[in-house]
Amino acid sequence: MHIIPGTGTRNPLTTQVNDMTQDQLKQAVGQAAADYIRPKLEKDSIIGVGTGSTANCFIDALADLRHDFAGAVASSEASAERLRGHGIEVYDLNQIGQMEFYIDGADEINAQLEMIKGGGAALTREKIVAAVAKTFICVADASKQVTLLGEFPLPVEVIPMARSYVARELVKLGGDPVYRDGVVTDNGNQILDVFNLRIDDPRGLESRINQIVGVVTNGLFAQRPADLLLLGTEQGVQQIQR
């Protein structure tokens, strides 16, 4: 692990290290991710872009680099719209053969860089884009770092007609699923948030939940964890490698 001292001159917030708000930490890691990939970009590079408030900070920082790469693949309609708003071309993943970087936030991340994601209901597309990318860079403020995953309720995307069945199966696994009322994912599905799971085997639980018929995917990113964490702290942005 090492600390990136005094990052970025374009965003004055990244140089302020004391009493930073969570929003300022998110901006600092968004800028740090753009700074990290900048020297590695090529004119034909396609960047995978995640979803959420921290990913939004990255998108905003990426805008300055828009002439240095070809475009992006987004993990949600919301991120696609924000990218286009900055003049960044958005590609369909099916058009893309390879992708060096995927940059996204997390709801929780542990020391193995395994994560819970899906607080913004974009987990399935996030998992798909992350699977294609060679390097997954997680951008997160220090509040997201945990020893044991599971205090944040685990999002599970379900086919609507299977919701009650899947909920009963999740209870058998020891969880307390709650329907995220009114939320429809970009894929037309629903979300169950599972409280009180004991996640001491993230990889095993990820497989087990995905095997329940009617589950599209769950928000455990353990089989494909992040490769690099850019963690926003009061002392600066820490780089934590897997």
Q: Which active-site residues does the annotation give?
A: 126
Q: Which of 51, 79, 110, 185 binds ligand 5RP (CB under 6 A)?
A: 51
Residue 184: count other Cβ atoms within 10 Å of its Cβ: 12
**8 A C-beta contact, residue 237 and residue 30:** no
Q: Judged by CB under 6 A, does residue 123 bind ligand 5RP?
A: yes
- Concatenated DSSP letters for 15-31? G--SS--HHHHHHHHHH
Sites for ligand 5RP among residues 201-240 (CB under 6 A): none
Q: Judged by CB under 6 A, does residue 54 bind ligand 5RP?
A: yes
With CB under 6 A as the rule, give the number of residues binding ligand 5RP.
Answer: 18
Whole-number Å distance between alpha carbons of 137 and 235:
20
93 CB burial (10 A radius; 0-12, 13-18, 19+): middle
CB of 26 to ligand 5RP, least distance (A): 6
Residue 106's contacts (CB-CB under 8 Å, 6 or more residues apart) are 115, 116, 117, 138, 140, 144, 221, 226
Q: Which of 117, 127, 163, 180 binds ligand 5RP (CB under 6 A)?
A: 117
DSSP state letter for 71:
E
CB of 119 to ligand 5RP, least distance (A): 3
For ligand 5RP, what does the binding mask look like between residues 81 and 110, x meaning CB under 6 A? -----------------------xxxx---
Instruction: Give the tokens for residue 79.
Output: 């991120």
Q: Which of 118, 150, 175, 236 binds ligand 5RP (CB under 6 A)?
A: 118
Residue 181's contacts (CB-CB under 8 Å, 6 or more residues apart) are none
Q: Judged by CB under 6 A, does residue 30 bind ligand 5RP?
A: no
Q: Judged by CB under 6 A, does residue 52 bind ligand 5RP?
A: yes
Residue 165 or 190: which CB sits closer to ligand 5RP? Answer: 190
Provide the binding-site residues for ligand 5RP, judged by CB under 6 A. 50-55, 104-107, 117-123, 126
